[in-house]
Structure 1
Amino acid sequence: MYELLKKLNARFDKVDLSLGELRSEMNAIRGTMVSMHQEIHNIYSTLSRHEMRLDRIETRLELRELSEAQARFEPHP
């Protein structure tokens, strides 16, 4: 009986080691996922800024196009 208990104790030690390794791997995966989430957020922020800049540029171009179109119909001296 004592020998059987010693074997069970050795197996439990192996299981504890395996669980510790799994926990560290899960923490590494969690860290990777957090960094990926942050990178995706940064990409969306950059895209949003570019979209706002493009909107401003388009607005300015439309104003310029309207003034150029209006200038064609105004009398020139």
Structure 2
Amino acid sequence: MNDVSSELMFELLKRIQNDLSSLKDGQKDMRQDMLSLRNQFHLLQGDVNTMRGSIVHIDDRLERIENRLELRELAEAQSRFEPHP
């Protein structure tokens, strides 16, 4: 009876060890996936920041053009004569 019990315990421990090994491998894969996603988010954030900078630059240039051509004052004067909803 003692031999059967020891063999059974040994088999159960081997199964548990295999399951733990499988779980560790899955955890490593998930960690790599998370790191990959984190890197992609950082790249996207950099792209968004670059676009924001470009938009600010374009907005500044447009404002200078409007001021130089005196379009802003013309638009403000024109808006007084347009009907408001």
Per the normalisation by structure 1, the TM-score is 0.80
Amino acid at match of 2:10: Y
Alignment of 1:37 with 2:45, yes or no, is yes
In structure 1, stretches of 5+ residues that fail to align are: 67-77
Q: 1:7 aligns with which of 15, 20, 41?
A: 15
Q: What is the count of residue pairs matched by the alignment? A: 65
How far has the Cα of 1:2 moved from its partner? 1.1
Alignment of 1:24 with 2:32, yes or no, is yes
> CA RMSD of the aligned region, Å?
1.7
Per the normalisation by structure 2, the TM-score is 0.72
* Structure 1 ranges of 4+ moved more than 4 A: none
In structure 2, stretches of 5+ residues that fail to align are: 1-8, 75-85
Tell me the percent identity: 29
